[in-house]
Amino acid sequence: MSYNLLKGKRGIIFGALDENSIAWKTAERVHEEGGTFVLTNAPIAMRMGSINKLAEKTGSKIIPADATSVEDLEKLVAGAVEELGGKIDFVLHSIGMSINVRKGRHYTDQKYDWTQKGTDVSAMSFHKTMQVLYKQDAMNEWGSIVALTYMAAQRVFPDYNDMADNKAYLESIARSFGYFFGRDKKVRVNTISQSPTPTTAGQGVKGFDGFIAYADKMSPLGNATAQDCADYTVSLFSDLTKKVTLQNLFHDGGFSNMGVSDAVMEAFVEKEEE
């Protein structure tokens, strides 16, 4: 169902890799709600994924950019404003990467040049993106910038490794830059702390399937899907959330406020009785 929530709005969507990715589902929903946008991803991710199919489906242009390169981001933002015919109303930052996770290095045995690269891609790129948008005065008043995060920024999930630190940094940037963006340009900046979601990126984390099942049993409403997240993101891009800023918004079926659930307790009681 479409409500025309984003009619006439223009944006940039980072990180659509394939049909499983939250950015992909968000792009489809934004398109349904009347928004137009430029798609962007790193050249290597574009070769791995199927972003051309999404561009065709949504009538969008792709502008490749390495989100860690300020020069690339400057070209991306200027190109998006030109392509879309005006200033930007919404931006989705949906990128994250840990080489330590990918290569199976334990949190207590990091290779720090890998850690630094992951921090640059997963968190610092968000600051760079906002700094470019801010300096180019590329955002319309009451625009909305959203980054995707995860609750490992606040609590320990051992196998999430250095991505937990990256997400904590990302959330801090959202608040700090969000203050200046709000004060000076009336732009809001928020992060969505999403349920564990079986995306291509998410599945790289050890024990992920077990963790999805655990989170689902723990949450009164069950896990939020990628599609649910796309809907929530659309609401944050819309004019219905004009005064929501500097927030880390938990979108996780209630997981973040749970201590334990009956379903989880039952699993432990059953084990004890065996």
Active site residues: 150, 160
Alpha helices in the chain (DSSP H): 22-32, 43-48, 51-58, 70-84, 99-102, 112-119, 125-135, 163-185, 208-218, 226-237, 262-273
Q: Which residues contact 17 (CB under 8 A, 6 or more apart)?
A: 23, 24, 41, 45, 48, 49, 51, 199, 200, 201
21 carries a ligand binding annotation = yes
Rounded CA-CA distance 186/254 in Å is: 30
Backbone angles phi, psi at 82, to 5 degrees: -70, -50
Structure tokens at 128: 């760079």
Token output for 197: 């979601």
* 157, 211 contact by CB (below 8 A): yes
Sign of the C-alpha dihedral, residues 230, 74, 186, 88? Answer: negative
User: What would the two tokens of residue 131 be?
Assistant: 């700094």
Tell me if 22 is assigned to a ligand binding site: yes
CB 191 within 8 A of CB 219: no
Q: Does 207 show up as a binding residue in the annotation?
A: no
Per the annotation, does 50 bind a ligand?
no
- Counted residue by residue, the chain has a size of 274
- Binding-site members for NAD(+) are 15, 21-22, 95, 167
